[in-house]
């Protein structure tokens, strides 16, 4: 079965995003439409695939915006990162709409799931729905702000930079290439 906008319970889901700023990420912000439990992670990218777990966290969510603490990680502008998450309730994470993106997923049980250091056995599918999720921390230029994250219109109008969602990360050339 393929997870849909209303079906995310017990699915490990991964979506690629391109960083809009450099700095130190210390939390992942998720918009939720219900009370739920969530586990979140950030993975590095290589060749258009999530390859190495950088940091993770878990929390209970309330309706609205939820900040989930993660171990500090360095984020580099324009690099691709993968947000991974799994919830214990369907439709817990609010979804936005973007051009088609190639996501990864795998059925897993929330209760016993731990993020793998290197994901494997993932299925790829195209979707126009993406999670309203972002990484926040200390910007290299000073102050606090968004480093990676969703282009959620409700967040953009209050002055946050729009996140670039990568439709096909494998087409992005390496630096100097």
Q: Is 34 exposed, middle or buried (0-12, 13-18, 19+ CB in 10 A)?
A: middle
pLDDT for residue 36 is more than 80: yes
For range 170-177, the mean pLDDT: 38
CA distance 31 to 85: 13
Whether this model's pTM surpasses 0.75: yes
Structure tokens given for 143: 């102050």
For range 148-171, the mean pLDDT: 39
**What pLDDT is recorded for position 34?**
84
Q: Between 133 and 48, name the one with better pLDDT.
A: 48
């Amino acid at each position: 079965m393929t997870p849909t906008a209303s079906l995310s319970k017990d699915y490990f889901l991964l979506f690629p995003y391109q960083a809009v700023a450099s700095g130190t990420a210390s939390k992942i912000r998720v918009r939720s439409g219900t009370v739920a439990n969530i586990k979140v992670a950030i993975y590095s990218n290589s060749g258009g695939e999530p390859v190495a777990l950088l940091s993770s966290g878990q929390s209970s969510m309330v309706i609205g915006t939820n900040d989930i603490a993660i171990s500090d990680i360095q984020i580099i502008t324009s690099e691709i990162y993968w947000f991974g998450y799994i919830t214990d309730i369907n439709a817990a994470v609010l979804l936005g709409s973007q051009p088609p993106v190639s996501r990864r997923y795998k059925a897993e049980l929330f209760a016993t799931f731990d993020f793998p250091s290197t994901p494997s056995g993932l299925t790829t599918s195209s979707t126009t729905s993406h999670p309203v999720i972002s990484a926040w921390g200390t910007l290299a230029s000073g102050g606090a702000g968004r480093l990676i994250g969703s282009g959620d219109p409700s967040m953009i109008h209050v002055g946050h930079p729009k996140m670039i969602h990568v439709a096909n990360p494998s087409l992005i050339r390496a630096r100097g290439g």
